[in-house]
Chains A and B, each alone.
Chain A
Amino acid sequence: MNHLLEVTDLRKEYPLQSGLLGAVMGSRRVVHAVNGVSFVLDEGGSLGLAGESGCGKTTTAKLILKLLHPTAGSIRFAGRDVAGLDGSDLLSYRRQAQFIFQNPYEALNPRFTILRSLLEPLIIHEIGRSIAERVERVAGALDRVHLNPPETFFLKYPHQLSGGQLQRVVIARALLVDPVLLVADEPVSMLDVSIRAGVLNLMRDLSRERKLTTLYISHDLALIRYMCSVTAVMYLGTICEIGPTEEVIEHPRHPYTQALVSAVPDPDPTRPRRPVEIADTVPTPFQLPAGCPFADRCPQVMEVCRHLRPLLLPVDGGVRVACHLYPGSTPRAAEGDGAKLEPN
């Protein structure tokens, strides 16, 4: 299988204060929103990025979609560097990579009718020769996301639709340009629980049918387990564990993953639970600890964790973990400055 998307040591930093005083004092405080993320996504594959709020999941997605520029590192899509795209190359990338937004209530222009919103991608990419042909395509797209009959939605404004209907419209809009990569940022977190399954099933069916490569971003491990074959767990801008979904969730290695998995509610009340307690204070992303970013909250913290950052290295079961509990992760040299994952 080919690597469709290769992310290598991706970094995004935001300067905190850039005023005159800061320049004089020479203090350059930065927020490390994404701090050395690497992964590969195979053509037709599905990757889930899990992690708590503020860990850099959404920033990673926006970097991949070129809504933000990376500070360092590279994103290669079908062999080409995304950050360097412009002009017609960028336009063609825009056709191939699409985004499903977290908040469907904000993802559609409030002053556009649904028809107008859905015509927009066709106008931009000059798809369809006549307006009639474009309207046909829009009708087809609405039909595919089970908004029937499509015509009844044409003249509606976003505020007249429910959240589930809006998210379907957003999905329809993304699929109108026939993308190969679909990135979904918490696609159902703003929706009522009762309609989440419907939207997720729709996304799963559509991406199977069209052989889409998908990247799901969510804090919800159950969702990722349902949708993705590979799972990556992010913590403070880095990936701490990545591997086949079943393996990561059934046998979590990293203490953070263990805590996440134990927090997922179990529908069977008789099954014994073994909650993993972690402290609830997250280090601020501009005062990253020198060693493992999770050291302050880790229940199994060791002396080495305080000053040496573990690398993301393979353990058994096809999983890679960045944790000193697994001997492979401790770099031989005393100085290790970041988790690196070399695609093999």
Chain B
Amino acid sequence: MSSSERAAALPQWTRATSTWRDALLVTWAVARRDRFALAGLVIYGVLLVVALAAPVVAPYNPQDLNYRPDGEVAADEVPSLPHWLGTTNLGRDIFSQVLFGARAALVVGFVAAFGVVVLGTLVGLFAGYYSGWVDTLLMRLADVAFGIPFLPMAIVLVAFLGPSIWNTVLVMILLLWRDTGRVIRAQVLSLRTRSYVEAARVLGASHLRTMFVHIAPNVLPLSFLYGSLAVGWAILTEATISFLGFGDPNVISWGFMLQDAYNSQAMARHAFYWFVPPGLCIMLAVMAGFFIGRGYEELLFPRLRRR
């Protein structure tokens, strides 16, 4: 091949080494082999579409009161053609609320998971790579985070910072990075003694370059595993906080709907159409995270694979 031919092929060669593309390909490989992981991806896909399309698809504004033709508030309606899942005791459309609830779940789940992954991976990289006092400091911090009971602390912090969805996300990031950090650190401890990391040092790579260019791509799949688990955790926690009444009152989430239904004694009235759909949605979203995590786990630790 002549040098001009090589110049022509250059873009193709340089494109082939993108870490993120690699990680996405791994995800796809997991999904293709594992039916559960595929189901998880499909659930997340539907969640994403519903969340984005909610304002267009939802028949009503989820916060609006609805009226019957005679001018009465359409409260406690059973499912019908205009209101597929009926209405709440204040005449709000339950189906629209379920659709809009996907938005809260998406924001909380993915933003929190992203934060957890970024923070946890950074902590793990620095602690594992530098070891010594950096490691001691960061891992004692992780110990403190492990010692804090998660849910009570989350409730206290949200109550203290004010009931907003972003505070909920922040609290979850601050409390959930610990698992990711620990696991990534352990992985980095083993990777940093590999020859190719030493080779990077011998070639003159700086500490930061060694960490982020040579080690980080090799722990990213593990980060993604913990990320996918964190999505489920975050959605579940947000629902819990909302159900207990510490959630953001201006945001319709599935947890908020459950609280609404509980407070207005929907269960006593057997209004299954009200509290079952949000509950199912929470369950599906959390399960999706664990399904994907499971698939990743089998890819990362092939011994778990059933023969």
Contacts and interface: CB of A to CB of B under 8 A. Distances in A.
A180 to B, nearest CB: 14
Nearest to A116: B17
A106 B197 CA distance: 9
Nearest to B15: A155
A112 interface: yes
A94 B6 contact: no
Interface in A74-128: 90-91, 94-95, 97-99, 101-103, 106-113, 115-116, 120-121, 124-125
B204 A121 contact: yes
A109 B196 contact: yes
Contacts of A150: 1
Contact of B17 (A113, A139, A177): A113
Contact of A173 (B14, B194, B199, B217): B199
B16 A155 contact: yes
A74 to B, nearest CB: 20
Interface string B193-206: 01110111111110
Interface stretch (A40-48, A129-137, A228-236, A300-308): A129-137
A109 B203 CA distance: 13
A125 B205 CA distance: 9
**Interface residues of chain B: helix, strand, loop or mixed (majority):** helix
Contacts, number: 86
A154 interface: yes
How many of chain A's residues touch chain B, expressed as a range?
Answer: 35 or more
B298 interface: no
Contact of A101 (B13, B198, B205): B198
How many of chain B's residues touch chain A, expressed as a range?
Answer: 20 to 34
B203 A177 contact: yes
A106 B191 CA distance: 10
Interface in A277-297: none
A318 interface: no
A67 B202 contact: yes
Contacts of A120: 200, 203, 205, 213
B202 A65 contact: yes
A62 B195 CA distance: 11
A67 B201 contact: yes
B185 to A, nearest CB: 19
A135 B7 CA distance: 8
Given A94-B202, A101-B198, 14 more contacts: A91-B204, A94-B203, A102-B195, A103-B195, A108-B199, A113-B16, A113-B17, A120-B205, A125-B204, A131-B10, A132-B10, A136-B3, A139-B1, A173-B199
7 contacts: A103-B195, A106-B196, A110-B218, A116-B17, A135-B6, A150-B1, A177-B203
